[in-house]
Amino acid sequence: MSGRVIMVSGPLVKADNMNNAMLYEVVKIGELGLTGEIIEYRDGVASIQVYEETSMLAVGQKVETTGELMCAYLAPGLLGGVFDGIERPLDKLYQNFGDFITRGASLDTLDTKKLWHFVPIKKVGDEVEFGDTIGYVMETKNFKHKILVPYNASGVITKIEEGNYTIVDNIVTLQSGNKKVNITMLQKWPVRTPRPYLKKYSPDTPMITGQRVIDTLFPIARGGVCAIPGPFGSGKTVVQHQLAKFSDADVIVYVGCGERGNEIIDVINEFSTLVDPKTKDKLMNRTVLVANTSNMPVSAREASLYTGITIAEYFRDMGYNVALMADSTSRYAEALREMSARLEEMPGEEGYPAYLSSRLASFYERAGVVDTLGQDKGSITIIGAVSPAGGDLSEPVSQATLRIVKVYFALSSSLAYSRHFPAIDWLTSYSMYADKLKNWYENNISADFIKYRSFLQKILQEESSLLEIVRLVGSDSLSSQDRLLLETGKIIREDFLYQNAFNDEDSYSTLQKQFKMVEVIYHYYTKLLDALKNGASVRDILSLNIKTKLQDMRYIEEGKLNKFDDLLLQIDDEVRAILDYDKDGEGDEGK
């Protein structure tokens, strides 16, 4: 069926004679066949958001319906790929059309000629249904890409053989009643429809990131949702890069939604050269990159988020843990606002549509830990960056996001400018997962982990108050105990929370190492506090040799954690020496 263009307004096109079209159906517009999606339908007139540049599109040109919804193409070959918002392969587009994407360009999302070695795990006579795993291919040397029974397919296997196949070859035949169903490795799934699962669980396991300020103070639960709001230059992208590099997720889906092209290039260059500490393979080999840069059509920003989350759900359904980085949802919201304005909808706060909150919620709600239809357990963790204009967190996108997420990383421009990374403000950030993860920490790390975490937060908060007093009247007005607290707070800030990304031992810390570091700092503070109460001078305790060792403990190798026990003993020895010295009556000066 075909309609006719009656209005063109930027990325919005209206067409009449569309009586039999579906909402969210994909259409091809004009002589070039521009790709669009129907987002509103009234009295035979369809409003279409176009995912390509609409210049030179004229009234009267044809609009052809395809009978299909906007779908993601899912098969082996996704990992390591770079796609635009509607899942066109950017590397192939570059090879075929040059530096700029030709309007109406259409290429296969995935390579349909490459052979993959399929290994079945089911046999002839087995009964299978949607979501069951029937075999796998090794997509990379470390990644087993499971082949699932597609939607609406079920029956008894009548043919299944190991061998080399393309993603469009028939690998399995099912007998369902009187009907034969042929299965290929390639699946299509509507991006706006969440993939089904059996059961969703409350997150109770941390996603280990190797970043001390996150894992110890503001943990993200596997299957949880997190927001990173912050002004320009505060390090949102840096934090997401660190999480993508070092998190213990099996698959990373990185969605660059409306971001600058140079940031996308940085991701590609870094991930193509960095070695994944888990697999010892290139980091890009467990990453899918959806690159929708700021100079691409604005409506494709909306599609990019849905494409990314659908790809993430596909890998989740294989039983993998997926981390999705959305950078940034503010650009997605701007696309909603522009399309809403062109549709002449009633504007909400700051011009955003009234359904902004529900759209953001529907995206974040696709995260979670689930039992898949194939009886595996998989998860999607969403980390979304928010870029409020001028750093104003009272604006609608930030507020709508904070009502949904459970972890909030408040980025600080002052920390970023002073080269303190991760630039997460420890006074205003929070994690609502900390209590839910308590049992995991006690069972897997130590029963003292939560106690030490509370100690860090208490010291940092009290230090902030004392620093205000110091700025007003100077440090001489402080008591000996307050001066010790300030010194301990400085050690926490500069030697625990700060991490050097250019040092292999410091850029990533296991939870065991993080616990040992906090244990040493806790022991240092409590022992010196006792020494003060027993008559030691503040001058002596703040000049201990151990302080230099504390400044360097973040460089202790993961395989030599016993060195932290030596630090505990050294603290005891030096404190004992001070107390013995003061008992002799020679250390009273400077109390």
Q: What is the CATH number of the domain that holds 573?
A: 1.10.1140.10
Assigned token pair, 433: 């997962």
**pLDDT at residue number 268:** 87
Residue 392 lies in a domain: yes
**Range of the structural domain that residue 178 is part of:** 111-184
Confidence grade of residue 315 (pLDDT, cut at 50, 70, 90): very high
Residue 191 lies in a domain: no
**pLDDT at residue number 230:** 82
Q: Are residues 387 and 494 in the same domain?
A: no
E strand or H helix at 262: helix 261-273
Instruction: Specify the CATH number for the domain of residue 246.
Output: 3.40.50.300
Neighbours of 474 (CB within 10 A): 9
∠ CA 90-93-94, nearest 5°, is 85
Residue 77 lies in a domain: no
pLDDT in tens, 150-167: 998 999 999 999 999 999
d(C-alpha 339, C-alpha 488), whole Å: 52
Neighbours of 563 (CB within 10 A): 13
Residue 512 lies in a domain: yes
Residue 443 lies in a domain: no
pLDDT at residue 106 tops 90: no
Assigned token pair, 231: 């002004």
Where in 512-579 does DSSP place strands (E)? none
Write down the residue that tokens 């529907």 correspond to.
362
Instruction: Specify the CATH number for the domain of residue 39.
Output: 2.40.30.20
d(C-alpha 321, C-alpha 379), whole Å: 5
User: What total number of domains does the chain contain?
Assistant: 4
Q: Are residues 406 and 457 in the same domain?
A: no
Instruction: Specify the CATH number for the domain of residue 178.
Output: 2.40.50.100
d(C-alpha 94, C-alpha 100), whole Å: 7
Which of these three, 17, 38, 69, is where a domain ends?
A: 69
**pLDDT at residue number 589:** 44
d(C-alpha 189, C-alpha 553), whole Å: 50
Residue 79 lies in a domain: no
d(C-alpha 136, C-alpha 290), whole Å: 24
d(C-alpha 566, C-alpha 568), whole Å: 5
Q: Are residues 377 and 422 in the same domain?
A: yes
Which of these three, 369, 392, 427, is where a domain ends?
A: 427
Neighbours of 590 (CB within 10 A): 11
Q: Are residues 276 and 178 in the same domain?
A: no
**Rounded to whole angstroms, what are the CA distances from 185 to 75, 120, 290, 311?**
6, 12, 21, 15
Question: pTM of the predicted model, to two decimals?
Answer: 0.93
pLDDT at residue 584 tops 80: no
Q: Are residues 266 and 357 in the same domain?
A: yes
Burial of 574: CB neighbours in 10 Å, binned 0-12, 13-18, 19+: buried
Assigned token pair, 156: 């008894």
CA max distance for the chain = 100
**pLDDT at residue number 273:** 86
pLDDT in tens, 51-80: 999 988 999 999 999 999 999 999 999 999
- CB-based contacts of 262: which residues, under 8 Å, 6+ apart? none
**pLDDT at residue number 591:** 43
Q: Are residues 517 and 422 in the same domain?
A: no
pLDDT winner (highest mean) among 209-223, 248-262, 273-287? 209-223
Residue 437 lies in a domain: no
Q: Are residues 396 and 455 in the same domain?
A: no
Classify strands 430-431 and 407-408 as parallel, antiparallel or unpaired: antiparallel
Tell me the percentage of the chain whose pLDDT exceeds 70. Answer: 98
Confidence grade of residue 583 (pLDDT, cut at 50, 70, 90): low
50 and 338 in contact (C-beta within 8 Å)?
Answer: no
